[in-house]
Amino acid sequence: MRVYISVDMEGISGVVAGKQVQSGEKDYERFRRLMTLEANAAVEGALDAGASEVVVSDGHGPMTNLLVEELDPAARLISGSNRLLGQMEGIDRGFDVAFFVGYHQREGGNDGVLNHTLLGKIVYEVRVNGEPADEAMINAGLAGAFGVPIGLVTGDRGVCEEAQKRFRGVVIAPVKEGLDRFTGITLTPEKARVLIREKAVQAIHATRAGLLSPYRVEEPVTFEVDFKRTSPAHMCTLFPGVERVSPRTIRIIEHDYVRGFKLFWGCLIVGAASFEGIL
């Protein structure tokens, strides 16, 4: 049983403020450690249930948050920011199940803590085949394209509930509930880790029992991005296959989800670089 774990930071227990997840800020060092321990809880649950291999992908900001020296030594870590599949780098290497740890609601989804979609500074909304998408949905589409189901989602209650609607058989571990984008009611990290480990065990059992199925997005797939400014939409038209459908909105239609995702991901990178006019 090979397990892939994508870890984000905004949905880690205790996190309620932007400064807690930004490198260079004082509180960041505390919360990156808690992020690492929450990833460990998922790794340990997978191992408890008999997983043979676990790969952890750091999926937040610069993607160098997880403390490799404190990660469970049974796991291997994907760390670093230059990636073709974003938070799911390496998912194409063959896994039986994927977990999402520390995930959060999409921008504007509801009052989820630090709700945003991938690059919160520049992205207002992402739609996949017309449906507003959170990171869990976008990333599950990638996993699904490689035949990998989503077994566990932990983080903000809102993202967990969305996941339950979309991913058949998924096990959830909500560790906090947003009262506002910057306020939440949260489990303590210790309780969150107990819950995540227990739910990770259940998720492996569910995988083995055949209760899960990969989340496959209908193809051809349409990605649409509403940016917060016009400049990213303008500069994304550098790529063939990107259509600017309104001053702030681009559209990509591809026959293959992974190709579509890569073009979308490239647009976000160019979008971020062009947002402040620094290209």
Q: Which residues bind Zn ion (CB under 5 A)?
A: 8-10, 60
Inter-residue contact 277 to 235 (CB < 8 Å): no
Tell me the angle at which helices 135-145 and 157-166 cross, rounded to the nearest 10 degrees. Answer: 40
Q: Which single residue is written with the structure tokens 């459908």?
A: 245
Helix (H) or strand (E) holding 242: strand 242-246
The tokens for 53 are: 């291999």
- CB of 182: closest distance to Zn ion in angstroms? 15
- CB of 139: closest distance to Zn ion in angstroms? 12
Nearer to Zn ion, 132 or 169 (CB): 132
Q: Which single residue is written with the structure tokens 């397990």?
A: 3
- CB of 108: closest distance to Zn ion in angstroms? 16
Nearer to Zn ion, 184 or 214 (CB): 184
- CB of 211: closest distance to Zn ion in angstroms? 29
- CB of 168: closest distance to Zn ion in angstroms? 26
- CB of 104: closest distance to Zn ion in angstroms? 7
Q: How far apart are CA 3 and CA 52, in angstroms?
A: 8
SS3 state of residue 167: coil
* DSSP classification of residue 247: T
Tell me the CA end-to-end span of the chain in Å, nearest whole number.
45
Nearer to Zn ion, 9 or 142 (CB): 9
Nearer to Zn ion, 32 or 60 (CB): 60
Tell me the angle at which helices 28-48 and 189-208 cross, rounded to the nearest 10 degrees. Answer: 30
Inter-residue contact 75 to 90 (CB < 8 Å): no
Nearer to Zn ion, 83 or 216 (CB): 83
Nearest-CB residue for Zn ion: 60
Nearer to Zn ion, 100 or 275 (CB): 100
Pairs from 133-138 (Cβ < 8 Å, separation ≥ 24): 133/106, 134/103, 134/104, 134/105, 134/106, 134/109, 134/159, 134/162, 135/8, 135/87, 135/103, 135/104, 135/106, 136/100, 136/103, 136/162, 136/163, 136/166, 137/162, 137/166, 137/215, 138/261
Nearer to Zn ion, 9 or 47 (CB): 9
- CB of 141: closest distance to Zn ion in angstroms? 18
- CB of 158: closest distance to Zn ion in angstroms? 15
Nearer to Zn ion, 102 or 189 (CB): 102
